[in-house]
Amino acid sequence: MKRNDKPIAVVLASGGLDSTVTTAIAAQNYRLAMLHVNYGHRTERRELKAFRDVCDYYQVPSNLRMELDISHLKKIGGSSLTDEAIPVSKANLESTEIPTSYVPFRNANLLSIATSWAEVLGAERIFIGAVEEDSSGYPDCREAFFDAFNRVIELGTKPDTHIRIETPLIHMKKWEIVRRGLELKAPLELSWSCYQNETEACGECDSCALRLRAFQTLGIEDPIPYVKRPRYV
Amino acid sequence: MKRNDKPIAVVLASGGLDSTVTTAIAAQNYRLAMLHVNYGHRTERRELKAFRDVCDYYQVPSNLRMELDISHLKKIGGSSLTDEAIPVSKANLESTEIPTSYVPFRNANLLSIATSWAEVLGAERIFIGAVEEDSSGYPDCREAFFDAFNRVIELGTKPDTHIRIETPLIHMKKWEIVRRGLELKAPLELSWSCYQNETEACGECDSCALRLRAFQTLGIEDPIPYVKRPRYV
């Protein structure tokens, strides 16, 4: 099959570890249509750089890259990721509470945008790197949520459109995601995960803690720079 | 019950006829949190004025008004409403085709935004003035679509959040909507429906045709100005 015969998949890519591995998975069977959404979160400039680096790595043409700025999630507020007045909580990987970094209904907003683009492009899939088990308890990261959203897509798009969300990481542990990324030669060194910093990762926010723990579990050094690297295993 | 004891409902209000009547219905039992989204469509300035006029009519306080600009639906394209290169079709009320004014997956984008705000506000309802029967065949205006979206909301918000979409007009004919609006003293003279013009309604686009036909069915003059008023009944 020639490259251009592959169907298109829209990939929601933050520039983080999970979405970079998801991109590597999607690239196996689809032409990549890379979608990055800035929603006013603290580290968006650094994530945008990571997104562009990953797009370059996969040689995605410019007409299949979309970078969007949406201000409404910041304006609506309610999260430490978008509201400077709410501090980013230090990681507590044992907690069952929803952390302050939860952006209300964020994934539905992202999937709605992705579906609009997918319908215009004639894409068949939307890939999102959501993870249920290691997901810090965000309600919109669960498989049942994505199943329900697939029903909304089927009912809310044109009859000749058939778009389905794929969540290849949904039941993986973070260390399994890292291992899968290494197997597929995903450019993990280009990805960015920290919720707090943009130059050296803080090592202490939820996102850093989950990432560091995964690499530590595998006994591999995370290739990105950190202010500090606490042991999480 | 005092005014402030009422629960909050987010109302998605374009400034059009349907959303103005929906606002009147929501105002009976809820405190109004009025949400207007500009998405780069042709007549957005005129609709924004209508939205503000309706908010003033219902004395909605400023902290419960939200006006958002989103550029992504325009950037994604695919609709005559947001893409100047695609002409607005003349009305064909008998057609079963989806008209060029269809904005791909628009209502899911709007409902996602509304849900994020509702979760932050602690609102119990989201009102949207969607109409299935007179809806020009848009797939995201059907009751089954909203039922499916309610499931997404239940799964994708915090466990202590219970938000439900209300579509009070969903099975009404347009003339029934006008009649209901008149009964509730909804300020129909402040609303704007035309997809084409911003000073005098064109009278010929789908939206004008549906509106004029409704008033003509009731034998009542539509109080807004038109360039021409073709007979549709």
Would strands A65-69 and A31-38 be described as parallel, antiparallel, or unpaired?
Answer: parallel
Q: How far is it, in rounded angstroms, from Cα A186 to Cα A34? A: 15
Position A186 confidence tier, pLDDT thresholds 50, 70, 90: very high
The encoded tokens of residue A201 equal 């990762």
The pLDDT, as a whole number, for residue B1 is 47
Position A197 confidence tier, pLDDT thresholds 50, 70, 90: confident
Q: How far is it, in rounded angstroms, from Cα A140 to Cα A131? A: 10
Q: pTM for the complete prediction?
A: 0.89
| Domains recognised in chain B with CATH numbers | 3-194 (3.40.50.620)
Residue A148 and residue B156: Cβ atoms within 8 Å?
yes
Do the Cβ atoms of B127 and A139 come closer than 8 Å?
no
Q: How far is it, in rounded angstroms, from Cα B72 to Cα B217? A: 38
Beta-sheet strands, E only, within A73-212: 125-128, 164-166
Report the greatest alpha carbon distance in chain A: 52
Among residues A89, A136, A123, A177, which one has the least CA distance to residue A12? Answer: A123
Position A229 confidence tier, pLDDT thresholds 50, 70, 90: very high
Q: Which residues, in sequence order, are CB contacts of B38 under 8 Å at separation 6+?
A: B44, B47, B48, B67, B68, B69, B70
The pLDDT, as a whole number, for residue A60 is 98
Residue B76 and residue A98: Cβ atoms within 8 Å?
no
Per-residue pLDDT averaged across A94-121, rounded? 85
Highest mean pLDDT among A51-65, A88-102, B87-101, B198-212: A51-65
The pLDDT, as a whole number, for residue B76 is 87
Q: Which of A72, A145, A148 sits opposite B148 (nearest CB)?
A: A148
Q: How far is it, in rounded angstroms, from Cα B51 to Cα B69? A: 14
The pLDDT, as a whole number, for residue A1 is 46
Beta-sheet strands, E only, within B90-196: 125-128, 164-166
Q: How far is it, in rounded angstroms, from Cα A101 to Cα A94? A: 16
What is the tens place of the pLDDT at every residue in A162-179? 999 999 999 999 999 999
Residue A152 and residue B156: Cβ atoms within 8 Å?
no
Is the pLDDT at A84 greater than 80? The verdict is no
Per DSSP, what are the bridge partners of residue B166? B127
Residue B73, min C-alpha distance to chain A (Å): 7
Is the pLDDT at A35 greater than 90? The verdict is yes
Cβ neighbour number for residue B170 with a 10 Å cutoff:
17
Do the Cβ atoms of B164 and B124 come closer than 8 Å?
yes
What is the tens place of the pLDDT at every residue in A123-154? 999 999 999 876 567 888 899 999 999 999 99
Residue B112 and residue A120: Cβ atoms within 8 Å?
no
Block means of pLDDT (10 residues each) for chain B, 233 residues, are 78 96 98 93 88 98 94 79 66 66 87 96 96 75 95 93 96 96 98 90 92 96 96 94
Residues in chain B: 233
Q: With beta carbons under 8 A apart, name residues in chain A contacting B157.
A: 104-105, 139-140
Interface of B to A at Cβ within 8 Å reads: 37, 66, 68-73, 75-78, 98, 102-109, 111-113, 115-117, 119-120, 139-140, 142, 144-145, 148-149, 151-153, 155-159
Position A57 confidence tier, pLDDT thresholds 50, 70, 90: very high
The pLDDT, as a whole number, for residue B49 is 95
Side-chain half-sphere of B81: how many Cα atoms within 13 Å?
22
Of residues B161 and A27, which shows the higher confidence score?
A27
Is the pLDDT at A99 greater than 70? The verdict is no
Q: Which residues, in sequence order, are CB contacts of B53 under 8 Å at separation 6+?
A: B15, B187, B190
